[in-house]
């Protein structure tokens, strides 16, 4: 995921914001990521739908993730 971020977003300020969001919200399951409903939904929703719903405190990371997850294989 970090390779994608560096390739798709050359702006180092945005890369730093995304990294901070990942550490605070995603890895520590803070905010919407920590909800039991979010964990259950991860098994029933498509990845792009899940991100659209539970992106919570990661607006910068969510924007790029939804683009990547919405691509056809």
Low-confidence winner among 10-14, 15-19, 60-64, 68-72 (lowest mean pLDDT): 68-72
The more confident residue out of 25 and 44 is 44
Q: What is the pLDDT of residues 29-69, one digit of tens each?
A: 777 778 889 889 989 998 878 878 887 778 888 778 777 77
- Containing domain of residue 38, as a range? 2-70
pTM, two decimals, is 0.57
Burial 47-66 (b: 16+ CB within 10 A, else e): eeebbeebbbebebbbebbb
* Total of domains in the chain: 1
Count of beta carbons in the 10 Å neighbourhood of residue 31 = 16
């Amino acid at each position: 995921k970090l390779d994608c971020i560096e390739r798709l977003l050359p702006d180092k300020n945005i890369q730093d914001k995304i990294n901070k969001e990942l550490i605070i919200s995603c890895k520590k399951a803070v905010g919407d990521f920590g909800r039991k409903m979010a964990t259950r939904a991860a098994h029933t929703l498509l990845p792009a739908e899940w991100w659209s719903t539970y992106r919570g405190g990661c607006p910068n990371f969510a924007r790029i993730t939804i683009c990547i997850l919405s691509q056809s294989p």
